[in-house]
């Protein structure tokens, strides 16, 4: 249950902080770290909760933005990278990078909490 709550809170806080231009782009990592500090979990579960929260959030957000412009930008970027013009590959890569950063931040928060106890 803590795992699901952690995923939901991390995704909600990351989305909320992302709405305000006053916060830097990496504020989602700070949110994941703070949630992992607040909700005690084993380090691997903390990593997974941060990863899943941001993978889903960034994946859905990228998919919505990509559909809004009819895949124009993502196809051009995918042609520059060795992805054969696949817009879905760019969306998955975006989601994976966001999930990885948030997962590492949550893992760091969990290990800080574990070390301080």
Helix (H) or strand (E) holding 30: helix 27-38
pLDDT score, position 44? 96
pLDDT score, position 52? 98
In the chain (117 residues long), the average pLDDT of successive 10-residue segments reads 96 93 90 96 97 98 94 89 89 96 98 90
pLDDT score, position 14? 95
The closest alpha carbon to 46, from 112, 103, 113, 100, belongs to 103
pLDDT score, position 13? 96
pLDDT score, position 22? 85
What does the alpha-carbon distance between residue 106 and residue 37 come to, in Å, rounded to a whole number? 8
């Amino acid at each position: 249950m803590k795992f699901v709550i952690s995923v939901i809170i991390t995704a909600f806080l990351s989305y909320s902080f992302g709405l305000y231009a006053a916060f830097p782009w990496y504020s989602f990592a700070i949110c994941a770290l703070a949630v992992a500090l607040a909700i005690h979990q084993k380090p691997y579960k903390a990593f997974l909760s941060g990863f899943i929260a941001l993978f889903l959030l960034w994946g859905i957000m990228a998919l919505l933005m990509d559909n809004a412009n009819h895949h124009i930008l993502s196809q051009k970027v995918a042609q520059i990278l060795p992805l054969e013009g696949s817009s879905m590959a760019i969306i998955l890569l975006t989601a994976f990078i966001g999930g990885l950063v948030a997962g590492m931040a949550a893992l760091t928060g969990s290990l800080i909490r574990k070390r301080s106890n």
